[in-house]
A and B are shown apart, each in its own frame.
Chain A
């Protein structure tokens, strides 16, 4: 550890870093930042920075509000900036109670705790999200920059230029990009991040979101991870590829299986399917999230799995020949406005539960599930995900699994906060109602 601290202090000195941003995340997934100067850095690294936790969503109550943000020296990274600007670095922090010990409301700690459980069983957990988002002309109205479609190569359009800038900045920060392309919706883009261990990836998603917003802002436009900004168009998802490794070996792979899937993988998928209702409140945490999870826009609605059926909740992508270490499953429910630390935590918990209990995997869904009638789906045992935030919260509230994965503090706060959001929404009179009813009723 000492060498890591020395590395950070020395680099700050050598590279003329002027400010160090200490980042952490509130329970809803918003990134918080405290900026310090190099003079304060050594103390911050050794003792942590004191801050008032009662000002952070989902942190402490007033009477116990002092907390410590302890920078994780492993995450020290220079932020890409323009030539001549002050050099700025960032570190992610772990939050500790002032009296000592980790703070259980810190989402990063929640994820670490779940990863530790996986590690006790000999597994390391990897995530590779495909993040979708929109560029709009401003943040008040929904006005796309273009009207191109999937994979479309658009000439000289601002969207492609922004995506290029974004990929370069991400790569410079050590967040490698697998693919980036124009998505289905007008002005919608997708960037697939190269898989990493779940903790690094959750940090990466946070970094990714802020960099995307900055690139957009620098170019006078607005980037949004809102799950469904436009009715009648595709929404933004964050399909997440998941795999477990035992040391160097992909625990999801079995060359003898017709699907190339190990028993472990099948139990894991079954765990996700069985507990999907309970975890979607976390992976899809906004009222708006459920406007994406509807038929017709390649978003999953029904709890089933398949290899090449993109309407399934869990897809098993075919690894390229000879690339068995690439065996993974893709959970298609999450959206990019989730809290990645909590979302990865509950996905892992559901999968591990499937392994522990040896859940049986139902047969692969072969038809386009959307084309079946309700009766046919019921006959196949396929049911739908919760249709609204309220239904999702009801399912979550009954879940021992989610309670255990998140810990009591986050579990209680989250339900409370989200119940309020639902109640605000329920009492709001929407433009839909004004348009339809005001003139006619």
Chain B
């Protein structure tokens, strides 16, 4: 199943986006109810994280939308600041759990995991896609524009990491430790080699999915928040 979390507002606070990315969730940020409807996945949203810090009105209105109709979202996590605590009164039906903002990433992750568990979902998907590119984690296959990619194991793992962490810049050392995770003959330059190989296999049209960030490292896809 394609699991996607709804995130409000658009763009979300940088720390929220980063926390979700690093813990492997796929998500889509929306500015209002109309956009949420328009982008609703075929299986519905897996859950929602609604941030009430800046725009409480909009946030609660979003929560109400998520509780209505056929596409009711069961797992809604609300982010509120300490000063907004009194706003929660009489709105108990609009959310399933809340987290004080500014939040601690570990706490947010734990609450999210708990919510997903109660709803009987993993929250982390079996498929990931970015544009024309689709990865099936169960079968280890990657497809671009409907055409299968012939990847080696490490190329597949690197691409998987990129696709599940779009928009974020990683240094070579970070990629090496998170994707390879063990001592390798190639050292940090191995990453360059594999990126070049992946680009070759993605083909000219898609090679720029993986961008070189000068004197830093690599980024997959578009930036979602300012660096």
Contacts and interface: CB of A to CB of B under 8 A. Distances in A.
Please determine whether chains A and B interact with each other in the same assembly: yes
Interface in A104-153: 112, 115, 119, 124, 126
Contacts of A14: 139-141
B141 A76 contact: no
B141 A247 contact: no
A15 B199 CA distance: 21
A65 interface: no
A74 interface: yes
Nearest to B173: A248
Contacts of B141: 11, 14-15
Q: Which of A8, A80, A124, A175 has the most CB of B within 10 A?
A: A124
A174 B197 CA distance: 5
Contacts of A297: none
Contacts of A11: 140-141
Contacts of A196: 186, 193
B185 A197 contact: yes
Interface string B148-186: 101111111000000000000000110000000001011
Given A171-B200, A248-B172, A7 B185 contact: no
The B interface, classified by DSSP as helix, strand, loop or mixed, is: helix
A197 B200 contact: no
Given A10-B140, A245-B189, A248-B173, A76 B197 contact: no
Contacts of A76: 152-153
Contacts of B193: 194-197, 200
A85 to B, nearest CB: 14
Interface in A190-204: 194-200
Nearest to A118: B185
Contact of A176 (B152, B153, B189, B197): B197
B150 A172 contact: yes
A174 B188 contact: no
A200 B186 contact: yes
Nearest to B189: A245
A383 interface: no
Contacts of A171: 200-201
A18 to B, nearest CB: 15
Contacts of A194: 193, 196
A194 B183 CA distance: 22
B187 interface: yes
B190 interface: yes
26 contacts: A6-B140, A10-B139, A11-B140, A14-B140, A75-B152, A76-B152, A78-B150, A119-B183, A124-B187, A124-B189, A171-B200, A171-B201, A172-B200, A174-B151, A174-B155, A176-B197, A176-B200, A197-B185, A197-B187, A197-B189, A197-B190, A198-B185, A200-B186, A245-B189, A247-B187, A248-B189
Interface of A: 3-4, 6-8, 10-11, 14-15, 73-78, 80, 112, 115, 119, 124, 126, 171-176, 194-200, 245, 247-248
Interface of B: 139-141, 148, 150-156, 172-173, 183, 185-190, 193, 196-201
